[in-house]
């Protein structure tokens, strides 16, 4: 039997995402959803870093940085999108963040006109 990574925390995060959509409604900017999520994470005493810096290095030299929307409890990277559909590039972006951080689980959260959809993405590296 396969164990689900961070099952309880993931469940609570999904509740936060759905509550955020129900409060903010459709067609908001990504920043608006992120602000509401940060507020709810704080209210639930869930440790997080917003705009978490992920350095991109080549041969011991930092080339640039990437920024994940959230790092939750040093366990889950959360990337927020506002779109009508999900694209492969969105999953690729989250997969890059997981590789750079060596985090095992990412959540791609897409706020659409009809609700919040959350996708679990495992680090394949």
CATH number for the domain including 71?
Answer: 3.90.320.10
Q: Which runs of consecutive H residues, i.e. helices, occur in the chain?
A: 7-24, 30-43, 88-101
* Neighbour count for residue 118 (Cβ, 10 Å): 14
Q: Which residues form the domain of 42?
A: 7-122
3-state secondary structure (DSSP) of residue 40: helix
Give the model's pLDDT for residue 115: 94
**Is 2 part of a structural domain of the chain?**
no
For the four alpha carbons of 46, 38, 77 and 110, in that order, the dihedral sign comes to positive
Cα-based angle 79, 6, 51 (whole degrees, multiple of 5): 25
Q: Which of 117, 64, 56, 113 is nearest to 90 (CA)?
A: 117
The one-digit pLDDT tens for each residue of the chain (125 residues) are 578 899 999 999 999 999 999 999 999 999 999 999 999 999 999 999 999 988 887 777 768 888 999 999 999 999 999 998 899 999 999 999 999 999 999 999 999 999 999 999 999 87
Give the model's pLDDT for residue 1: 57
**Is 37 part of a structural domain of the chain?**
yes
First to last CA, the chain: 22
**Is 11 part of a structural domain of the chain?**
yes
Q: What are phi and psi of 76, to 5 degrees?
A: -135, 130
Number of folded domains that form the chain: 1
Give the model's pLDDT for residue 62: 65
**Is 31 part of a structural domain of the chain?**
yes
Contact call for residues 28 and 17 (beta carbons, < 8 A): no
**Is 1 part of a structural domain of the chain?**
no
**Is 30 part of a structural domain of the chain?**
yes
Rounded CA separation 78/119 (Å): 10
């Amino acid at each position: 039997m396969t164990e689900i990574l961070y099952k309880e925390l993931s469940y609570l995060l999904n509740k936060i995402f759905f509550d955020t959509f129900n409060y903010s409604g459709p067609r908001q900017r990504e920043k608006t959803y992120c602000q509401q999520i940060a507020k709810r994470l704080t209210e639930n005493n869930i440790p997080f870093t917003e705009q978490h810096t992920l350095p991109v290095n080549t041969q011991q030299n930092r080339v640039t940085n990437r920024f994940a929307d959230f790092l939750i409890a040093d366990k889950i990277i959360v990337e927020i999108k506002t779109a009508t559909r999900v694209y492969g590039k969105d999953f690729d972006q989250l997969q890059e963040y997981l590789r750079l951080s060596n985090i095992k689980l990412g959540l791609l959260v897409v706020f659409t006109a009809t609700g919040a959809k959350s996708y679990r993405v495992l680090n394949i590296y």
